[in-house]
Amino acid sequence: MDLFIQVLLSGLSVGAIYAIVALGFGVIFNATGAINFVQGEYVMVGGLSAAMLYEAWDVPIFVAILVAIAVTTVLGLLTEMGLLGFGRLRTPAAITIATIAIAVIVKGAAMLISVRDTYALPSVLGSESLQILGASTSRQTILNLVLAVLVVIALTLFFRRTKLGTTLRAAAGDSETLQTFGVSYRTTARWAFVIAAALGAVAGAGLAPLTVMSFDSGTLLGLKGFAAAMLGGLGNPQGALAGGLLLGVAEAVVAGYGTSAYADVVAFVVLLAILTFKPTGMFGTARAVRT
């Protein structure tokens, strides 16, 4: 029983991070209809920059996290400028493909800046462990879960109760009609990338105390976040939370009762199954796409 609780807590901790990454995918999808494959690199930049500031330059941990979020948010803005400003891309397919190229550029820049070193960040709640039902877990586990739930609530209220949020949701459905009402597609896309980048940085700051961060951390995290988003229903905040937690627990079960060598395969199996049998995810609904 203790092993099961330990595995469950471990899975929920990392699953909360997957959920926040999945939320970033959903924000971009709701606003542009595109898949942003830079999302994983936002997580890497947020976690790596916070850890580098703290470990290499002795910046206070809270300041390091805030600076990392600011840096990553600027990266999100630059991503939008590169795609829709200089690139002048408008179709979801073109934006999706271009994000892959930008992800490669960001990863290469991070490699040069970090000199391939790894960095770690302590938990803001300290290193003391907690005992829950006979199992030991870190305080960061609880923090990540609370953070994921709060982010989902905040995004849900944002998309449903604010003018900007409803505009972002409507932009992917019919951006041309929105422009006739004076709503700029660039404006909605810019806000979407900024929000997604900030979410990535938050996920990175939450992940850094659980594992070391390096320039190549983002690729796999992005794929797992995308799998969680697809599992819960792309663009659905509550679905992203459920998908992330389920994926994290599934990985932990495979690692805890089997071998950790196959834990990373779980995300790809889940993604393949969802794309094959239920592309809309557990809580997603089919949407019309105009060609």
- Does any domain span residue 27? yes
What is the pTM for the complete model shown? 0.93
DSSP the chain: -HHHHHHHHHHHHHHHHHHHHHHHHHHHHHHHS---TTHHHHHHHHHHHHHHHHHHH---HHHHHHHHHHHHHHHHHHHHIIIIIIS---SHHHHHHHHHHHHHHHHHHHHHHHTT--B----TT-S-EEEETTEEEEHHHHHHHHHHHHHHHHHHHHHHHSHHHHHHHHHHH-HHHHHHTT--HHHHHHHHHHHHHHHHHHHHHHHTTTS-B-TTSHHHHHHHHHHHHHHH-TT-HHHHHHHHHHHHHHHHHHHHHT-GGGTTHHHHHHHHHHHHH-TTTTT--------
Does residue 287 belong to any structural domain of this protein? no
User: How confident is the model over 216-272, as pLDDT tens digits?
Assistant: 999 999 999 999 999 999 989 999 999 999 999 999 999 999 888 888 899 999 999
What pLDDT, on the 0 to 100 scale, is given for residue 176? 63
For residue 283, being part of any structural domain is answered with no
The pLDDT score that the predictor gives to residue 291 is 40
How many domains does the chain divide into?
A: 1
pLDDT at 258: 86
- Whether residue 205 is predicted with pLDDT greater than 50 in this model: the reply is yes
Q: How high is the mean pLDDT of the chain?
A: 90
CB-count exposure of residue 83 (10 Å: 0-12, 13-18, 19+) = buried
Domain-embedded: residue 288: no
pLDDT in tens, 142-188: 999 999 999 999 999 988 888 888 777 776 556 665 666 566 778 88
CATH number at residue 142: 1.10.3470
Is the Cα torsion angle 200, 201, 202, 206 positive or negative in sign? positive
Q: Do the beta carbons of residue 272 and residue 249 sit within 8 Å?
A: no
Residue 136: phi, psi to the nearest 5?
-100, 135
- C-alpha 219: how far from its chain's center? 11
* Cα-based distances in Å from 124 to 139, 210, 231: 9, 12, 31
Q: Structural domain of residue 65, as residue ranges?
A: 2-277
Q: Please report whether residue 286 resides in a domain.
A: no
Q: Within a domain: residue 165?
A: yes
Query: What's the pLDDT score for residue 25?
Result: 97
In a domain, 290, yes or no: no
The span from the CA of 181 to the CA of 145, in Å, is: 40
User: Which residue type occupies 130?
Assistant: L
CA atoms within 13 A on the CB side of 202: 25
Phi and psi at residue 12, in whole multiples of 5°? -65, -35
Q: Which residues pair with 129 in a beta bridge?
A: 138
Band of the pLDDT at 289, cuts 50, 70, 90? very low
- Residue 126 inside a domain? The answer is yes
- 10 Å Cβ neighbour count for 205? 28
Residue 287, pLDDT above cutoff 60: no
